[in-house]
Amino acid sequence: MDIITGAQYSLVYNAFSFTFATMAATTIFLWLGRSQVGPAYKTALTISGLVCAIAAYHYYRIFESWQDAYELKDGVLVVTGIAFNDAYRYVDWLLTVPLLLIELILVMRLTQAETTSKCLRLGFAAALMIILGYPGEIASDNTTRAIWGTLSSIPFLYIVWELFKGLGESIERQPESVRKLVKDARLITFGSWGFYPIVYMIPYTNLGGGSVETAVQIGYTIADLIAKAGVGVLIYVIAVRKSAIEYPDIDHQRA
Ligand SMILES: *C/C=C(C)/C=C/C=C(C)/C=C/C1=C(C)CCCC1(C)C
- Per-residue model confidence (pLDDT) at position 2: 67
Q: Give 123 Cα–ligand 1 centroid separation in angstroms.
A: 13
Query: C-alpha 136: how far from its chain's center?
Result: 19
Q: What is the DSSP string of 56-78?
A: HHHHHHHHHHHHHHEEEETTEEE
- Which of these ranges, 21-35, 111-125, 158-172, has the smallest mean pLDDT? 158-172
Q: Which domains does the chain have, with CATH numbers?
A: 6-246 (1.20.1070.10)
Share of the chain above pLDDT 90, in %: 77
- Per-residue model confidence (pLDDT) at position 76: 86
pLDDT exceeds 70 at position 253? no
Q: Taking residues 106-122, what's their average pLDDT?
A: 92
What's the CA gap between 55 and 13, in Å, rounded? 16
Query: What is the number of the ligand 1 atom nearest to the C-alpha of 159?
Result: 9
Exposed/middle/buried for 219, CB within 10 Å: 0-12, 13-18, 19+?
middle
Residue 79 parent element (H or E): strand 76-79
Q: Give 153 Cα–ligand 1 centroid separation in angstroms.
A: 9
pLDDT, one tens digit per residue, over 185-220 is 889 999 999 999 999 999 999 888 789 999 999 999
CB 16 within 8 A of CB 57: no
pLDDT, one tens digit per residue, over 134-186 is 999 999 899 999 999 999 999 999 999 998 887 888 888 888 888 998 899 88
Query: C-alpha 63: how far from its chain's center?
Result: 17
- Which of these ranges, 51-55, 225-229, 243-247, has the smallest mean pLDDT? 243-247
**Which of 20-29, 169-178, 242-251 ranks highest by mean pLDDT?**
20-29
Q: Taking residues 17-29, what's their average pLDDT?
A: 98
Nearest in space to 29 (alpha carbons), one of 223, 230, 227: 230
**Average pLDDT for the chain:** 93
- Per-residue model confidence (pLDDT) at position 164: 87
- Per-residue model confidence (pLDDT) at position 248: 87
What's the CA gap between 105 and 237, in Å, rounded? 15
pLDDT exceeds 80 at position 254? no
- Per-residue model confidence (pLDDT) at position 169: 84
- pLDDT level of residue 252 (50, 70, 90 thresholds): low
Q: Give 175 Cα–ligand 1 centroid separation in angstroms.
A: 31
Share of the chain above pLDDT 70, in %: 97
Residues with CB under 6 A from ligand 1: 93, 96-97, 100, 129-130, 133, 149, 152-153, 156, 193, 196-197, 200, 224, 227-228
By most ligand atoms within 8 Å of CB, the mutation choice from 130, 150, 198 for ligand 1 is 130
Exposed/middle/buried for 81, CB within 10 Å: 0-12, 13-18, 19+?
exposed
pLDDT exceeds 80 at position 250? no
